[in-house]
Amino acid sequence: MKNYIQLKSLNTFRISVFAAQVIKIYDVYALIKHWKNTYYKAQPVLILGRGSNVLFLDNFIGTILINKIKGIFVTEYNKIWRLRVGAGEKWDKLVTYAINHNIPGLENLACIPGSVGAAPIHNIGAYGIELSKICEYVDIIDLYNEKVIRFTHEECLFQYRSSIFKNILKNYAIIFVGLKLSKKWKPILNYGELNCLKKHYITPKQIFKFIRKIRYNKIPNVKKTGNAGSFFKNPIINAKKAYNLLSLYPNMPYYRQIDGAMKLSAGWLIDNCSLKGYILGRAAIYSKQSLILINNKNMANGTEIAALALYIYTSVAKKFNIYLQPEVIFIGKHGKINPKKIFL
């Protein structure tokens, strides 16, 4: 791996792999220039934010462009604030900035360790709110045609952990994200662990602090223990199948969706295969949250984490006839790998 660049500090799973080249990108012109350079040499190219939703399975033989396009621009109107934010800003820095400037509405999404640019891709969500609720537009650059294109909220096709950016678009980079926050703030406290907070007296800052505390208690700190948050998505199944399962497991948590389908808790399904804390080689299931896979002592490679994920996938499928879908994106030598190649 002579002259290759170590990626361990550039992915939160702390996988030790190398890339032929890593370039930090501070503006759109540099993004186009470096992307074209690699594209026309027929070399693989990957755009990365904070590396908190990827699993490297191998060395990457191409160029990684790290998005560092910065800027938080706030415009105040009578009833709303509009925020236009550079894709390379840290998401949690944005949340803290908003709270410190008395702009509420982002507090439930505190502590998510990614970049602003990646937030629309899987429509980040936590504690009762998803990005889709506040996202007004997403500006991308079509790298092939060098054109900036704006996707309105509707055009983003946001769904649970999904959007048009996830699998449909190709050769693009998100450069700015537009958020719209109402001045008529109402606390969102319907998520289980927030029920104990009192609606009438609570401030955005108190919610922000409370969520930070909950998260510190049950999500491993990426600075110490490699992980990428939830490894799998919570499965959404049809109501009939959910009721069949509920007749067998009456304590199983479920969340009814607007269209009648049911979202189940992947963490609960994994727990109920008696896998909490399970260790496979140098990979493990986190003892306080079964949906999080950890890189034990930060010594595992991506294949070991994937082997554990496959074991979980198979165990849950056997016991519940539910096929978990990974939330984490697998990256191989040449770029993204379809998870079906690993799980089927």
Select from ligand EPU, ligand FAD, none the partner in contact with residue 87, using the beta carbon and a kind-dependent cut-off of 5 to 8 Å: ligand FAD
Closest distance of CB 3 from ligand FAD, Å: 23
Residue 204 interacts with ligand FAD (CB under 6 A): yes or no:
no
Per CB under 6 A, the segment of 32-40, 147-155, 227-235, 293-301 that binds ligand FAD is 227-235
Residue 291 interacts with ligand EPU (CB under 6 A): yes or no:
yes
3-state secondary structure 58-70: CCEEEEEEEECCC
Pick from 122, 136, 140, 127: which is nearest to 31 by CA? Answer: 140
Q: Which of 16, 115, 230, 290 is catalytic?
A: 230
Q: Which positions from 145 through 174 interact with ligand EPU, judged by CB under 6 A?
A: none
What is the Cα–Cα distance from 242 to 301, expressed in whole angstroms? 36
Which residue from 7, 25, 126, 177 is in contact with ligand FAD, where contact means CB under 6 A?
A: 126
Q: Which residues contact 17 (CB under 8 A, 6 or more apart)?
A: 6, 7, 8, 56, 58, 59, 60, 301, 302
Nearer to ligand FAD, 115 or 301 (CB): 115
Q: How many residues does the chain have?
A: 344
Residue 106 interacts with ligand EPU (CB under 6 A): yes or no:
no
Residue 52 interacts with ligand FAD (CB under 6 A): yes or no:
yes
What is 197-247 written as a DSSP string? S-TTT--HHHHHHHHHHHHHHHS--TTTSB--SBSBPPPEE-HHHHHHHHH
Which residue from 154, 186, 192, 201 is in contact with ligand EPU, where contact means CB under 6 A?
A: 192
Residue 13 interacts with ligand EPU (CB under 6 A): yes or no:
no
Nearer to ligand EPU, 47 or 324 (CB): 324
Q: Which positions from 201 through 240 interact with ligand EPU, judged by CB under 6 A?
A: 229-230, 233-234
Contact 11, 26 (CB under 8 A): no
By CB under 6 A, the count of residues binding ligand EPU is: 16
Residue 106 interacts with ligand FAD (CB under 6 A): yes or no:
no
Select from ligand FAD, ligand EPU, none the partner in contact with residue 121, using the beta carbon and a kind-dependent cut-off of 5 to 8 Å: ligand FAD
Q: Which residues contact 155 (CB under 8 A, 6 or more apart)?
A: 164
Residue 332 interacts with ligand FAD (CB under 6 A): yes or no:
no
Amino acid identity at 310: L
- Terminal CA-CA length for the chain: 31
Burial class (CB within 10 angstroms; exposed 0-12, middle 13-18, buried 19+) of 246: middle
Active site residue 161: yes
Strands 60-67 and 18-25: parallel
What is the Cα–Cα distance from 127 to 192, expressed in whole angstroms? 8
- The residues that touch ligand EPU, with contacts defined as CB under 6 A, are 126-127, 192, 229-230, 233-234, 253, 265, 267-268, 271, 289-291, 327
- The residues that touch ligand FAD, with contacts defined as CB under 6 A, are 12, 46-54, 67, 87, 112-115, 117-119, 121-122, 124-126, 173-174, 219, 222, 227-229, 329
